[in-house]
Structure 1
């Protein structure tokens, strides 16, 4: 589940009423396979198609295990982070600017009987700090057409968020020219409609 690309950012939507609606997020693989989790009836959230998540996690099938630390930026309902958790990731941090949306991620983690950190914070401010340990996998899936990608990628690189050989999933609007840190190598990509999904590996020694 991700935030709708053409709306405002999470904190700008706080005045909108949010409630648990009839929507459901279905986890598609791993130990929580087929589990259905509630989705807020909230402006700016829409489901990530199962086939998109399935493609991404097919790419990652040999990359996630109990030692993998995952960072889910612009988490929305946390579908990518939850899917990584279901598939065996040892630790997942969720970052979401909208308080109500972040609270729903926490409730869904409780439903799964899992305790993981949910940071109610703008992604850029979160990345201005330095982590206790670097991450092996990052999901970077911000709202489209808000010019957030380049800045977030630079902060990930400069502030010590990435391990050697880290994988970074980047999803943008189609046609966007990326300015990425030196040493990020494109290893997979796919397009669907207005969406361009890429997977990069950070070269060792960066």
Structure 2
């Protein structure tokens, strides 16, 4: 849980929107990914031998369980072509739409107000997928299955999944390429296929 001060300091870390403050809904329902974790994730995506700049630049991105949209907006800031944000919480949706507008990213962003576990069919598959669901509910495997079935995950896509440090993760059809721990969180990088 973060205090009010850290929530008020939520910002885009790098790229064209660097320093842009992001709104977060009140309360503890939404848990935005910390700036230092986002920086670490994008550093890995940018420099790891299994990823590289092409994974982000010009990519179609899915930010599922989007909350404030920080991960997808960070990707757009760093050159992604398009981002779709999936979220069902009303307060988070309001903050998400505010953040997209503040970054003036409406032309490259789409908001899907709904359940990640029951997604609509994808218009086009995404090569980079962020999953940051509530911890300890075993949502990542279920989300991967639902999103795959609906055509959201491209062949060989990279999936960045954030979960509780002690949570187990089984992801049939995906192979783990890297993992990092950040405080109470664990970030797992998976490759589809």
TM-score, scaled to structure 1: 0.80
2:11 to 19, 22, 26: 26
Give SS of 1:178's match: coil
- Give me the whole-angstrom Cα distance separating, in 1, the residues matched to 2:165 and 2:21: 30
8 Å CA contact retained: 2:22, 2:68: no
**1:45-103 per-position Cα deviation (integer Å, ceiling 9, x unaligned):** 3442222111100122211112x111111111111111011011111011111122112
Q: RMSD of aligned C-alpha atoms?
A: 1.9
Partner Cα separation in structure 1 for residue 22 and residue 190 of structure 2: 29
Count of residues in Structure 1 that have an aligned counterpart in Structure 2? 180
Task: Give the aligned partner of residue 43 of structure 1.
Answer: 28
Q: In structure 2, what is the Cα distance between the partners aligned to 1:37 and 1:154?
A: 30
Report the structure number with the largest CA radius of gyration. Answer: 1
Q: Which has the higher strand share?
A: 1
Matched, 1:160 2:151: yes
Q: Which residue of 2 aligns with 1:124?
A: 117
1:54 alignment counterpart = 39
Matching of residue 190 in structure 1 with residue 183 in structure 2:
no
Instruction: Quote the Cα distance in structure 1 between the aligned partners of 2:32 and 2:142.
Output: 25
| 1:74–1:140 CA contact under 8 A, matched in 2 | yes
Q: Which moved more, 1:152-161 or 1:192-201?
A: 152-161
Aligned partners of 2:34 and 2:28: how far apart in 1? Answer: 18
TM-score (norm 2): 0.85
Separation in 2, partners of 1:45, 1:100: 9
Residue-by-residue CA offset, 1:110-154 (whole Å, 9 max, x unaligned): 11112121122121122xx32121110110110011121221111
4+ residue runs of structure 1 moved beyond 4 angstroms? none
Q: Could you tell me whether the CA contact under 8 Å between 1:23 and 1:41 is conserved in 2?
A: no
Runs of 5+ consecutive residues of structure 1 not aligned to the other structure: 5-21
